[in-house]
Each structure stands twice: as structure tokens, then as C-alpha cells.
Amino acid sequence: MACYDDFAWFYNRYWSEEFHSAAFPILERIWLDRLPPKARILDVCCGTGYLAALLAARGFRVTGLDVSREMLAYARANAPAAEFTLADAASFHLPGACDAAVSTFDSLNHLLEPAAIEAAFRNIAAALRPGGLLAFDMLLDEAYQTRWGESFALVRDDHLLTITGAAFDSHSRIARITVTMFRLLEGAWQRSDVTVEERCYSPDEISDALAAAGFGELLCYDAGDLGMAGQLGEGRTFFVATRLD
Ligand SMILES: C[S@@+](CC[C@H](N)C(=O)[O-])C[C@H]1O[C@@H](n2cnc3c(N)ncnc32)[C@H](O)[C@@H]1O
């Protein structure tokens, strides 16, 4: 069972809109405006399909992949015009038919081993036509050293969620939070606990992994400089990499 399976209901309800209302204008500026109309786009770690729906509404042909069955169930409902596949970013194989690829909301930080992120970049490169553009955002050191996983609680009459236990191990580079959720379903409270883990990669590790996977030109943009305010933008960098011929 993927760790986002239990998180999917809350994620779908509360998580996507705020992030993408800031991220989508950035993606339009640094990546989307460079794509041909009706481009075929691969959304890696697509989650609940919020971005896929925005892209499909603009006429792009979107394929999303994610390792969580439950996140994909929401994605299929949220973006009926897109296609979705249950797959691991570190091990999927798609023929090189895409014009572009994207991976948002620090999804690639969820790959906890350098070998896994290298494999993901290789798989994405293999799915792209030569010259295809990959856009993604990742959290860098500053994000994990500052306000990563600040305690948070959301309390409603029939559901509640807390985020606690944030920790960042600067030796292993792994950051962790615990999400505890309750939902009142058919008169009984149901509890689930999820640990979300991310790995902090350095800009050099990211650019080396991209180069090894066959990407050339790499553009980097600080999210705060591009208008992503507050904690969401802190320590977040957007990257646009071009697949070599
Ligand atoms: C923070 S969410 C972001 C979702 C979406 N990209 C967005 O912008 O809302 C991270 C997503 O990455 C997915 N994920 C984590 N590890 C993955 C892997 N190895 N392969 C595919 N998806 C993965 C999770 O299931 C989750 O849906």
C-alpha cells in the first residue's frame, strides 16, 4: 500500500488548490509557453490529478502516473480527459512519445535513494522525444532546515488531521512527518496514520542525475523569486531540463 493511499481524501480536499494557484502561473511562464499546442505531457507522481485537469482544460494530452491507487482514483474523477497509470517513477517504461513531462509539489523528493531519482530521470528521458522539456520543482536544503513539517492541525465536525513529529536527519538527508487523520464514517471515527518521507538532494546531485539520464540544458528558478510566497516557496526550486537528441 502506497503511503499516500490513506492521505488521498484529505489531499484531494485540502492540498492541491493553494499550491497550484501559485505553481501553475510559474509553469506557464517557464515551461508551458514553450510547448506546442496539444502537446502530449507526462505528469510524473500526478497525485489527485489537479494539474492534469488544468493542462487538459488547455487542450494538452495528459498521461499521469502515480504509485498510489487511491490518489489515482481521485485523479480519474478530477481529470476525466487525461489517462492515468499506476506505476513507480523509478521503474516505469513508456515509449518516447511525449513532448514534455512535469512533476510538481516536491514529488521527486519522495524518491529516497539517489539511484531511484536517477532511474526516474532515465525513465522520463526515455518517455520524451528528443528536445522534450521536463519541468519539476524540488525542495532544497533551506526548506528542510527551516519550516519543514511545522505542526499543523485541521479540525472539522466530521474529520480532523494533524501533522506532527517533523524531523530532518542531516546525515541521511531524510525528512519525515507523521500525519494522523480521523474521519467520521457511518457513525464511527476511523483513524489512519501516515509517515511521509522525503530526501533532500543538493543542486549538484540533481543536475548530475539529469545529465546522466540524457538531459542537456538545465534552467533553475527560485520559487520565491517567481512569486510563490511564504512557506510554499521557501527553499523550493523549479527546474526545466531539455532531453538531448
Ligand atoms: C506531494 S504529492 C504531489 C502530487 C501532485 N504532483 C501535485 O502536484 O499535487 C506526491 C505524490 O507523489 C507520489 N509518489 C511518491 N513516490 C512515488 C513514486 N516512487 N512513483 C510514483 N509516484 C510517487 C505520491 O503517491 C503522491 O501522489
Q: With a 6 A CB cut-off, is 55 part of the ligand 1 pocket?
A: no
- Of the chain, the end-to-end C-alpha distance in Å amounts to 38
Mutate which of 6, 13, 55, 67 for ligand 1? The one with the most ligand atoms within 8 Å of its CB, which is 67
User: Angle at the Cα of 98 (from 93 to 102), degrees rounded to 5?
Assistant: 85
What lies within 8 Å, CB to CB, of 89 at 6+ separation is 44, 45, 65, 67, 103, 107, 108, 111, 116, 120, 123, 124
Task: Check residue 147 and give its pLDDT.
Answer: 75
Contact call for residues 62 and 52 (beta carbons, < 8 A): yes
Lookup: cell for 227: 512569486
Q: How far is the CA of 9 from the centre of ligand 1 (A)?
A: 14
Contact call for residues 161 and 10 (beta carbons, < 8 A): yes
Task: Check residue 145 and give its pLDDT.
Answer: 87
* Domains of the chain with CATH codes: 8-140+201-243 (3.40.50.150), 143-198 (2.20.25.110)
% of the chain residues with pLDDT over 70: 99
Q: With a 6 A CB cut-off, is 111 part of the ligand 1 pocket?
A: yes
Query: Taking Cα atoms as reference points, which of 36, 58, 62 lies closest to residue 47?
Result: 62
Helix, strand or coil for residue 169?
A: strand
Query: Taking Cα atoms as reference points, which of 5, 98, 10 lies closest to residue 55?
Result: 98
Task: Check residue 166 and give its pLDDT.
Answer: 82
Q: Using CA positions, which residue lies closest to atom 14 of ligand 1?
A: 45
Task: Check residue 148 and give its pLDDT.
Answer: 77
For β-strands 61-66 and 83-86, DSSP reports them as: parallel
Q: Does the pLDDT value for residue 234 go beyond 80?
A: yes
Could you report the per-residue pLDDT of 107-119, keeping only the tens digit for each? 999 999 999 999 9
For β-strands 128-139 and 98-103, DSSP reports them as: parallel
